[in-house]
Chain A
Amino acid sequence: MATENGKSLLEIRDLNLHFQTTQGVVQAVDKVDFDLGYNDAIVILGESGCGKTSLARAILRLLPRNVDRYDGKVRLGDMELMGMGDEEFRKKVRWVRMSMVPQAAMNALNPVLKVGDQVAEPLMIHAGISKENALSHASDMFRRVGVPVDFLNRYAFELSGGMRQRVAIAMALVTTPEVVLLDEPTSALDVLTQTNIFNLLKRVKQEFDVSFILITHDIATSSELAERVAVMYAGQIVEVSDAGNFFEAPLHPYSQKLMASVPRLRGTQDLEFIPGKPPSLIGLKAGCRFAPRCSFRFDKCDQDPPITYKGDRLVRCWLHAEG
């Protein structure tokens, strides 16, 4: 992970985002720690409902009304974000330094606005650039993400899914942010379109000084962008490893099971699945959240596992705890 003066680009420590519901408090993001380097790409991997989108919302402060708890440390470059007022956050951070391609963005484009205008809009709003100027930036961005420039004047419904996803990516890139969050950017797309989008993201990462946070449940395609992998389970990050080590030898028992469930085109190994299901995020008890499904469970697992650092790798599991 590339750092500057020993510091990462984005540092997240003990980040919490809990929601209030009639059934109780949902601990969607719970004591999350990770770092993002300069020109880095980290994948947040986890099953449906484990809190991935909530984590993205916590980082970008896109909060619903029913927040029960929102705290922790988020540092971007030399800015501490948590202490910042909402107005300042909107002016200096969201879209300007950090942007996002939301989950299902390609189906959420404005149906009555030309896609060119939609890509130009963040520039006009957040950078105060004139419409004419913003449109010329937008057309430059279209070219870079591989959308024909004459599509600027089209509406979303006139575009294929792959093209709409490129438009959504162009929207997130047009303000030249340092961090872009991508929430399941390709899960609704075909293999060849997925490949195209990943080629595009790789090229963007080479050309711009940008870092990606890629949120996905698709382990195999996540390797198309990942430099590092963070595994999320029931609201917590349970492992962070560099991609090489992660795909070869993951540390956490949950990560190991996940890897064993990935279908491979070739080879002979049998597929495994994890019996049972993840716990409800309401009324969580002390102890390791994966323990009920873990084949290595032992008595210590009834207490919260500590975070252990192994070189650059992080793991939240008693098997790896020191002392």
Chain B
Amino acid sequence: MENIQKTDQNQVNTMDNASKNNGTPLLSLKNLHVWFELKRWGFAHAGYVRAVDDVSFDLHRGDAIAIVGESGSGKTSLMKTILGINRPIKGDIFFDGQSLSELNPRQLREFRSKIGFVQQDPYGALPPFMSVRRILSEPLIINGIKDPDEREERIRKVMSEVKLNPVDDFIEKFPHMLSGGQQQRVVIARAMILGPKLIVADEPVSMLDASVRVEILKLLENLQHSHDLAVIYITHDLSTVRYFSERIFVMYAGQLIEKSSVDGILSNHLHPYTDALLKGTSEPDANNAKIFKEVPPGEPPSLVNPPKGCRFHPRCAKMIDGLCNVEDPPEFEPAEPGHLTFCWLYKQNGHES
């Protein structure tokens, strides 16, 4: 305990991205805090919902990462902040080296056109009374593409990229005439149409049937490779991540508690919460019905008054009394380089990163 100096988390991790990339990251989050103010009677301050609480990571061009966490852990809030919809209360986001907080409204609009967004809940995502053509025209019109021929050309191009082929069969259709998979292809086409460098996909497949889910994941993967896209894939389902991303960030109660390559998580996970998520993820196996599974007791904490120390400690079987329930864990790197976790269990064998 003595030889640990707790770094202030101002210092941002440079080991964060262990991939081959160097140079300026495409996206860099530095100690990002997104808090929502709670108001009583509509005006009196009653505390904050700490939806994102000190999150840092780098994402390089062409890389795919997955953010995995339970409902309410802050995944969507984090995404909306990256998109410039939520404002951070503390910390900053850099895109191509540019701080978002320094952008003027025109620059902010231009920045947003470089990020494609696939929002949660595909069924609510498409306006029901617009044809596919109309839906795909909107972002072009908003971004000042006035020539109808150019718009038509770009719409047709993106539709064939997302395999809505033959284009003429789909371009006049309304969302309710499309299958779930086709609707989600339209959502992806809309995210792709301005030629983004980054796609943020918030639970793009969780509402879909297994087969359609695979269809969409494969499409995203193909687009990622063919366009050298960076992708942030948000999900609560660990079993889909390895088909798609290189790195996984596990989110719990507003924080990224473990960051690793997919292999690192599957073969050598570190955090007890990651352990619970992995054990809870089912594979189709008839023996499952014969056994009871271990589950940590309780539920995720309130984000208004999160537990002192490690936020997982009230549910953790390995909790070290006097430490985990007192002091915030720093980020340790006890295993392979780039595999990081906020957990006191690694204070002996892990050097603080």
Stretch touching chain B among A59-67, A107-115, A193-201, A295-303: A193-201
Q: How far is the CB of A6 from chain B (nearest CB, A)?
A: 25
Q: Which of B70, B71, B240, B277 has the most CB of A within 10 A?
A: B71
Q: Once the chains are docked, how many angstroms separate the CA of A144 from the CA of B211?
A: 36
Stretch touching chain A among B138-146, B212-220, B317-325: B212-220
B280-A273 in contact (CB<8A): no
Which residues of the partner chain B approach A56 to less than 8 Å between Cβ atoms? none
A225-B210 in contact (CB<8A): no
Q: Once the chains are docked, how many angstroms separate the CA of A185 from the CA of B26?
A: 41
A262 at the interface (CB under 8 A from B): yes
A125 at the interface (CB under 8 A from B): no
Q: How far is the CB of A316 from chain B (nearest CB, A)?
A: 19
Q: Once the chains are docked, how many angstroms separate the CA of A274 from the CA of B210?
A: 10
Q: Once the chains are docked, how many angstroms separate the CA of A271 from the CA of B214?
A: 7
Which of B209, B242, B288, B295 meets A192, CB within 8 Å?
B295
Q: How far is the CB of B184 from chain A (nearest CB, A)?
A: 12
Which residues of the partner chain A approach B71 to less than 8 Å between Cβ atoms? 161, 189-190
Q: Once the chains are docked, how many angstroms separate the CA of A263 from the CA of B216?
A: 13
Q: Once the chains are docked, how many angstroms separate the CA of A67 from the CA of B301?
A: 47
Q: Which of A189, A192, A219, A246 has the most CB of B within 10 A?
A: A192
B211-A264 in contact (CB<8A): no
15 new A-B contacts, CB < 8 A, other than A262-B284, A265-B278, are A162-B299, A192-B276, A192-B295, A193-B70, A193-B299, A202-B289, A219-B210, A248-B286, A258-B210, A259-B284, A263-B213, A265-B281, A266-B266, A273-B214, A274-B211
A220-B293 in contact (CB<8A): no
B211-A273 in contact (CB<8A): yes
Q: How far is the CB of A157 from chain B (nearest CB, A)?
A: 15
- CB within 8 Å for A264 and B283 given contacts A48-B209, A195-B295, A199-B293: yes
A55 at the interface (CB under 8 A from B): no
Which of A193, A223, A266, A272 meets B284, CB within 8 Å?
A223
Stretch touching chain A among B12-20, B126-134, B231-239, B327-335: B231-239
Which residues of chain B from 265 to 289 have any CB-CB distance to chain A below 8 Å in the complex? 266, 276-286, 288-289
Which residues of the partner chain A approach B70 to less than 8 Å between Cβ atoms? 190-193
Q: How far is the CB of A110 from chain B (nearest CB, A)?
A: 23
A160 at the interface (CB under 8 A from B): yes
- CB within 8 Å for A265 and B239 given contacts A47-B209, A224-B288, A273-B211: yes
Which of B277, B279, B289, B299 meets A224, CB within 8 Å?
B289
A287 at the interface (CB under 8 A from B): no
Which residues of chain B from 182 to 214 have any CB-CB distance to chain A below 8 Å in the complex? 209-214
B243 at the interface (CB under 8 A from A): yes
A192-B277 in contact (CB<8A): yes
Which of B236, B288, B299 meets A191, CB within 8 Å?
B236
Q: Once the chains are docked, how many angstroms separate the CA of A226 from the CA of B285?
A: 10
Which residues of the partner chain B approach A203 to less than 8 Å between Cβ atoms? 292
- CB within 8 Å for A198 and B293 given contacts A190-B236, A261-B211, A263-B243: yes
Q: How far is the CB of A176 from chain B (nearest CB, A)?
A: 22
- CB within 8 Å for A47 and B293 given contacts A190-B236, A223-B286: no
B284-A261 in contact (CB<8A): no
Main secondary structure of the interface of B (DSSP, over half): helix
Residues of A that sit less than 8 Å from B by CB: 41, 47-48, 160-162, 189-196, 198-199, 202-203, 217-227, 242-244, 246-248, 257-259, 261-266, 271-274, 277
B296 at the interface (CB under 8 A from A): yes
Of the A-B pairs whose beta carbons lie under 8 Å apart in the complex, a sample of 29, sorted by A's number, is: A160-B299, A190-B70, A191-B236, A191-B237, A192-B276, A192-B295, A192-B296, A199-B292, A203-B292, A218-B210, A219-B210, A219-B284, A220-B239, A220-B281, A220-B283, A220-B284, A223-B288, A224-B282, A227-B289, A261-B210, A261-B213, A263-B237, A263-B240, A264-B239, A271-B243, A273-B215, A273-B218, A277-B179, A277-B181
Which residues of the partner chain B approach A271 to less than 8 Å between Cβ atoms? 214, 217-218, 243
Instruction: Please tell me the number of chain B residues within 8 Å of chain A, measured between CB atoms.
Output: 40
Q: How far is the CB of A197 from chain B (nearest CB, A)?
A: 10
Across the A-B interface, give the 3 residue pairs with the lowest CB-CB distance, nearest first. A243-B286, A273-B214, A191-B280
Q: How far is the CB of B207 from chain A (nearest CB, A)?
A: 9
Q: Once the chains are docked, how many angstroms separate the CA of A200 from the CA of B296?
A: 14
Q: How far is the CB of B245 from chain A (nearest CB, A)?
A: 13
Which residues of the partner chain B approach A195 to less than 8 Å between Cβ atoms? 279-280, 293, 295
A258-B211 in contact (CB<8A): yes
B180 at the interface (CB under 8 A from A): yes
Q: Once the chains are docked, how many angstroms separate the CA of A218 from the CA of B293?
A: 18
B292-A202 in contact (CB<8A): yes
Among residues of A, the one whose C-beta sits closest to the C-beta of B292 is: A199
Q: Which of B179, B237, B282, B285 has the most CB of A within 10 A?
A: B282
B296-A263 in contact (CB<8A): no
Which residues of the partner chain B approach A261 to less than 8 Å between Cβ atoms? 210-211, 213-214
Which residues of the partner chain B approach A242 to less than 8 Å between Cβ atoms? 286
Q: How far is the CB of B274 from chain A (nearest CB, A)?
A: 12
B286-A263 in contact (CB<8A): no
Among residues of A, the one whose C-beta sits closest to the C-beta of B217 is: A271
